[in-house]
Amino acid sequence: MDLLPESWRRTIRRAAAGIADLLDGSGPDGDRPAVGPGDTPGPAARTWALAKAGIATASLPATVPVAAAVTLRSQRTALGRIDRFPEQLRATCEDRPGPLPVRRPVRLDASGRFVFTSDLHRCVPGRSDWPARQGTKGLYLDVVAAYASDGWSIVENGDVEDFWMVGGSTWGATYDVGRLAAGVAGPLADHTRQELLGDHLDRIVSNNRPLYGLLAELAATGRYHRTLGNHDDVLVDPRLVERLRTHLPGVEVPDAIVLADAAAEAANGPSVGTVAAVVMHGHLTDAWNGPGLATLGRAATWVASGLDDLPTGGALSGLPGELATDALLTGRGENRLITLDARYGGNRRFDSLDEQRLFARLAAAAPAEGWPWLILGHTHFPMLRPVDAGGTPVRYANSGCGVLPGAFTAIEWDGSRSDPVRLVVHHLEHGRPRRTELVPDGEVLTVG
């Protein structure tokens, strides 16, 4: 139900979008970048950012204790999810409902070749266009095209389109205000909210048109897959998935993908022993960003987006710096499980996924045949067989992220090999894409 009739809503949306495009200097589809890397987001977005900074500052005395209470409660829920995760993992392998909020997974044949990427954070033109700011848009397109031509399937493992980042341009500020207003109105503005999110999705696609053209070709032949993350969690709504399908035909957005032995499952049914890998975004047990627990994560992203639009905001964007890429390419990448404070579900680095506790729980409940590979993203830290607190490698791979400066990381799965998993970083060298393999060596990733 909506207070305004559809024709009025359409007229208002078109007028707001037209004004935003005019101020941003964009075309009717918002398909020309409004700003370049490091440039200002424009007066409208900057004014809105200043207003947000004032609101955030003035409300600190009230929001800090509320946030602490919410975090404590969410962390208790997250710890409970970690405790039940082995049961959920077994249920996912056996293709049945489990105790946690995980919808039925898509099952793929583990004998295939798959490239897993995650945390791509594709957005509309402006300062929120992280791939443009980091110089990875063209690189990602070229590398995905090369994989596709070589017969690989592409799996984008959550946080693909970004619906949490706001501002960065006049449209970004308009989207933010409209989203907040729809949230205040609640069910009375449900259609308006859904239409606004759909418009935002269309603009993200338009801002990445060549890539979506390629992904659409792969989707039409069953070689493009994806999962749901936290920054694109609005795609839990079937209406928005239908909107996505206008760009990517037939695509599904499950919570998990299972790589399984198709022949064994056809003969004996699904089980832990028939599954080679379970692929999830990784936010399920996250107290700050998990399903139903994302109040703090959304709020932090909202504040950070506003700070990034301020004159001194560049250092506050949350984007990885050059040191992150350099560490990987010089064999100094970290390869140890993340540990968090048990009370608040975070640490000094503001991580929010307790990998150490999660894998300790999995180890304690391991079946006789052992767990399949767990392939996640979410943390932005690439890993392969990282070591736990006792120095033992675990059967875990993390695809890292797509927004390193001039680089992105990925997991390659080649089911024809006895050891199917490779961790790679794609980067530019002398203006051309180069693939560098990262090899685990204790607590670090060396260059293979």
Domain boundaries, the chain: 6-447
Are the beta carbons of 126 and 197 closer than 8 angstroms? no
DSSP 13-34: HHHHHHHHHHHHT--TTS-S-S
Distances (CA, A) of 416 to 113, 133, 372: 8, 37, 16
Per cent of the chain over pLDDT 70 is 90
Angle at alpha carbon of residue 216, lines to 210 and 217, rounded to 5°: 95
Asked if the model's pLDDT at residue 315 lies above 70, the reply is no
Strand partners, 203: none
DSSP 411-445: EEEETTSSS-EEEEEEEEETTEEEEEEEEEETTEE
The residue among 315 and 42 whose pLDDT is bigger is: 42
Instruction: Look at residues 284, 283, 317, 313 and name the one whose alpha carbon lies nearest to residue 300.
Output: 317
Asked if the model's pLDDT at residue 34 lies above 60, the reply is no
Query: pLDDT-based confidence at 390, cuts 50/70/90?
Result: confident
* Predicted pLDDT of residue 2: 62
Instruction: Look at residues 332, 409, 397 and name the one whose alpha carbon lies nearest to residue 359.
Output: 397
d(CA 411, CA 400): 9
d(CA 324, CA 288): 23
Average pLDDT over residues 310-320: 74
Instruction: Look at residues 90, 102, 397 and name the one whose alpha carbon lies nearest to residue 274.
Output: 90
Most confident stretch, 11-25, 228-242, 333-347: 228-242
Asked if the model's pLDDT at residue 303 lies above 80, the reply is yes
Per cent of the chain over pLDDT 90 is 79
Q: Which residues contact 51 (CB under 8 A, 6 or more apart)?
A: none
Asked if the model's pLDDT at residue 290 lies above 80, the reply is yes
Average pLDDT over residues 257-285: 97
Are the beta carbons of 155 and 279 closer than 8 angstroms? yes
Average pLDDT over residues 50-67: 90
Average pLDDT over residues 368-387: 97
pTM of structure? 0.93
* Predicted pLDDT of residue 13: 57
pLDDT tens figures, 74-96? 999 999 999 999 999 999 999 99
Angle at alpha carbon of residue 196, lines to 192 and 199, rounded to 5°: 140
Average pLDDT over residues 392-407: 97
d(CA 86, CA 219): 32
Are the beta carbons of 232 and 250 closer than 8 angstroms? no
Average pLDDT over residues 98-112: 97
d(CA 158, CA 400): 11
Q: What is the DSSP letter of 336?
A: B
Tokens matching residue 175: 């989207």
Helix (H) or strand (E) holding 217: helix 209-220
d(CA 20, CA 318): 26
Q: Name residue, tokens 């932005």.
A: 380
Tokens matching residue 107: 């099952």
d(CA 336, CA 381): 10
Asked if the model's pLDDT at residue 31 lies above 50, the reply is no
* Predicted pLDDT of residue 312: 72
* Predicted pLDDT of residue 35: 45
Q: Which amino acid is at 439?
A: V
d(CA 283, CA 356): 14
Q: Beta strands of 67-159 (E only): which ranges?
A: 106-109, 113-117, 153-157
Are the beta carbons of 293 and 286 closer than 8 angstroms? yes
Query: pLDDT-based confidence at 14, cuts 50/70/90?
Result: low
Tokens matching residue 444: 């670090």
> Quick one: angle between helices 190-207 and 6-24, nearest 10?
40
Tokens matching residue 198: 């759909």
* Predicted pLDDT of residue 18: 58
Average pLDDT of the residues of the chain = 91
* Predicted pLDDT of residue 220: 96
d(CA 240, CA 253): 10
- Using CB atoms within 10 A of its CB, is residue 54 exposed (0-12), middle (13-18) or buried (19+)? exposed
